[in-house]
Amino acid sequence: MKDLTAEEMSGNTVKILRVALSSTSEPEVLDFIQQAKATKPLVIFTPNPEFLVAAQEDSHFLANLNQADINIPDGFGLVLAGKILGLPVKERIKGADLVEKLLSIGEIEKWEVGIAGARRGDPKESKILFERLSQKYPNVEFINLDDSRFTVHDSRFGIVFACHGMIKQENWILENKDKIKARVFMGVGGSLDFLTGFAKRAPVRIRKVGFEWLWRGLQKPGHWKRVYAAVIVFPLLVIKEKIRNSLFVNR
């Protein structure tokens, strides 16, 4: 396979609520990550509807999101929004699934993987997470970038995962992508928690119909504020944009 440019790989880039999203597929993203060169790090963010809502009120976050090489649409609501707005969002790409497949590739190719923000910085839980990852992927060398013993000058990673959560992880990546040597930087939120048993994903059937938001709300009542942003505020903003676009066209 020939080396691809970001534009060739991602196909069309569409803007929803001023955030550029890559209309691509999971196999294309996986191929592109494997081809990424060490000379210029590839930055991947995983926005969902909640991200786009937050970006409307935070201009710095909006600007950060639009600095990514690839913004994978990690949310069923983004695909629906594309249909409402007449924009070609090819498919939803689940960030957690992508992370799992990347680590399976890393297991074969014996990657070094850097992780920042694991378990939101809790030392005891981070230690358990790293132990479980090492058991699951014994050929991958996992490095805790939050460990005081980590030295930037010694780093050379296949991929770096930032797990701080929305806004903080994107800030961290953009601040560190030119300091830490890695082919790929990716914001993954709590994806590693699913792989290590700290969190339980929704059953496959629920995921397929796009009802993970309901599952999260039932599992953690504290998530209802985030659910509200994703399933109430986001659709209203999309409808507002649809109306605005229609008025502009009819002028």
Question: Tens digits of per-residue pLDDT, 28-53?
Answer: 999 988 888 767 899 999 999 999 99
* The pTM of the whole model exceeds 0.95: no
What are the distances in angstroms from CA 162 to CA 16, 115, 117, 121? 24, 6, 6, 11
Q: Which domain holds residue 199?
A: 6-56+63-240
Residue 25 in any domain: the answer is: yes
**Could you give the percent of the chain with pLDDT greater than 70?**
83
Give the separation between CA 47 and CA 11, rounded to whole angstroms: 18
Residue 250 in any domain: the answer is: no
Burial of 232: CB neighbours in 10 Å, binned 0-12, 13-18, 19+? exposed
Residue 231 in any domain: the answer is: yes
Burial of 111: CB neighbours in 10 Å, binned 0-12, 13-18, 19+? buried
The mean pLDDT value of the chain amounts to 87
Residue 246 in any domain: the answer is: no
Residue 44 in any domain: the answer is: yes
Residue 162 in any domain: the answer is: yes
Q: What pLDDT is attached to residue 61?
A: 98
Residue 249 in any domain: the answer is: no
Structural domains of the chain, count: 1
